[in-house]
Amino acid sequence: MGSLLQPDADSFWSEQIIGLNYLTVSILAGLFLMAVLVRLATMWMAPKLLKKIIRSDSIQSKTVKESDKALGTAAGAGFSLYVLNALIQLHIEDGNDFILPGFIENLLPNLLQFIFAFALVIWAFRLVSIVKDVVELFDKDGELDGSERTLISAVESLLRFLIIALGAVFIADALGFNLTSLIAGLGISGLALALAAKDSISNLFGATTVLLDRPFKVGDWVIIDSVEGEVMEISLRTTLIRTSADTVVTVPNANLVNTPIENFGKRRWRRWQSLLHLDLNSNPDDVAGFCNGVLELIKSSSVTVKHESSWCQVSNLSVQSLDLSLNLYWDVAGGAPEREEKEKFLLGVMQLAQEKNLKFFDARMLQHS
pLDDT above 90 (res 292) = yes
The answer as to CATH 3.30.420.40 being correct for domain 270-361 is no
- pLDDT band of 184, cuts 50, 70, 90: low
Residues with Cβ < 8 Å from 38, sequence gap 6 or more? 72, 75, 76, 79
Give the CA distances from residue 215 to residues 135, 138, 208, 222, 237, in Å, rounded to whole numbers and listed in that order: 19, 20, 12, 10, 16
Confidence of residue 235 (pLDDT cuts 50, 70, 90): confident
Distance CA 120, CA 174 (A): 14
* Report field, pTM of the whole predicted structure over 0.75: no
Q: Which amino acid is at 88?
A: I
Residues of the chain with CATH 2.30.30.60: 209-266
Helix (H, G, I), strand (E, B) or coil at 42: helix
**DSSP assignments along 300-349, one per residue:** H-TTEE-GGG-EEEEEEE-SSEEEEEEEEEE--SSHHHHHHHHHHHHHHH
- What pLDDT shows up at residue 203? 58
- Of these ranges, 140-154, 201-215, 231-245, the one predicted with the greatest mean pLDDT is 231-245
**Which tens digits make up the pLDDT trace of 89-116?**
776 666 655 666 666 777 788 888 888 8
CA pair distance 210, 233, nearest whole angstrom: 12
- Over the chain, what is the mean pLDDT? 76
Every domain of the chain with CATH number 3.30.70.100 lies at 270-361
Residue 67 has pLDDT above 90, yes or no: no
Strand extents, DSSP E, 145-298? 221-224, 227-234, 238-242, 248-252, 261-263, 270-279
pLDDT above 80 for 362: no
Q: How sure is the predictor about 334, in pLDDT bands with cuts at 50, 70 and 90?
A: low
Range of lowest pLDDT (154-158, 193-197, 301-305, 312-316): 193-197
- Please give the class, per CATH, of domain 209-266: mainly beta
Alpha helices (H) along 62-145: 68-94, 102-127, 130-138
Burial of 14 (0-12, 13-18, 19+ CB in 10 A): middle
| 59 Cβ contact partners less than 8 Å away, ≥ 6 residues apart | 130, 133, 134, 137
Stretch 180-206: mean pLDDT: 62
Q: CA-to-CA distance for 197 and 214, rounded, in angstroms?
A: 25
Whether 11 has a pLDDT exceeding 90, the answer reads no
- Residue of higher predicted confidence among 285 and 164: 285
